[in-house]
Amino acid sequence: MGLGFNKFSLVLVLSLSMVVGSSSAGNFHQDFDITWGGNRAKVFNRGQLLSLSLDQVSGSGFQSKQEYLFGRIDMQLKLVAGNSAGTVTAYYLSSQGPTHDEIDFEFLGNVSGDPYVLHTNVFTQGKGNREQQFYLWFDPTRNFHTYSIIWKPQHIIFLVDNIPLRVFKNAEAIGVPFPNNQPMRIYSSLWNADDWATRGGLVKTDWTKAPFTAYYRNFNAVACTSCASKSASSFSDAAWQSSENDLDATSRRRLRWVQKYFMIYNYCTDLKRFPQGVPSECKQRSRF
């Protein structure tokens, strides 16, 4: 990847890769419904472990029973191992309808030995096109790692093992919609997308390697389910209005480190895609 590690970077990678969430785990029987794929989705260990599988007939998926409006969502995933080219493991928050809001993690598979691509996106009022993509600094198929979303009225933060990699700030003041009044469920799915997922669709799914399986554990939501009937304008809980502790000095350094060494695509710098000028939110000077 040509990331240009120095000794400090190597030490940081090794130490940060050990950071995982310490919150108590949820229960997949109690917190989620299997929504498609039949027995390709399975729950084990008295609700503590869930797996999704993909074969040539179908993928599989699940969704949360609860809706959320603001909060922190954590999930540990271990992704499809080996040749995962053509597969996508999606883990995201979404509302419903043509003007839906959505906060996306998507893991784009690759041939054995090549890195996964972590694809992130934010949809507001049905419009996305806000992609940022990253390589990871570890093999996400060997062990479980924690993927988190902090969603507050001020911003959305994407984290991996508690390391921030992306911040999408509320820019309503300059006319950019922000997801702040549509409650969202948690969704995840494993599906075939070999028309675009790996090298733009050049590498197809090798069905001789099926079934492809991803694993989930240690779901935790520190979020407001009773707030799902409220909007941001009526939401005054100080714990969620405050953002002071979301990105301290150490977190801001980690964010810069990830974006310097591991970001491989940023819509805000894609001038060929936006010849008339990048989206308005890209022009804001970040305080992070």
95 pairs with which residues across the strands? none
CB atoms within 10 A of CB 144: 18
Q: Which two tokens stand for residue 76?
A: 């540990």
DSSP string for 28-79: HHHHEEEEESGGGEEEEGGGTEEEEEE-SS--EEEEESS-BSSEEEEEEEEP
Distance, CA of 95 to CA of 125 (rounded, Å): 10
Distance, CA of 247 to CA of 275 (rounded, Å): 33
CB atoms within 10 A of CB 283: 11
Residue 5 DSSP label:
-
| Residues designated as active site | 102, 106
Radius of gyration of the chain (CA): 19
Q: Which two tokens stand for residue 186?
A: 């948690």
Residue 207 DSSP label:
G
DSSP string for 167-202: EEE--GGGT-----SS-BEEEEEEEE-TTTTTGGGT
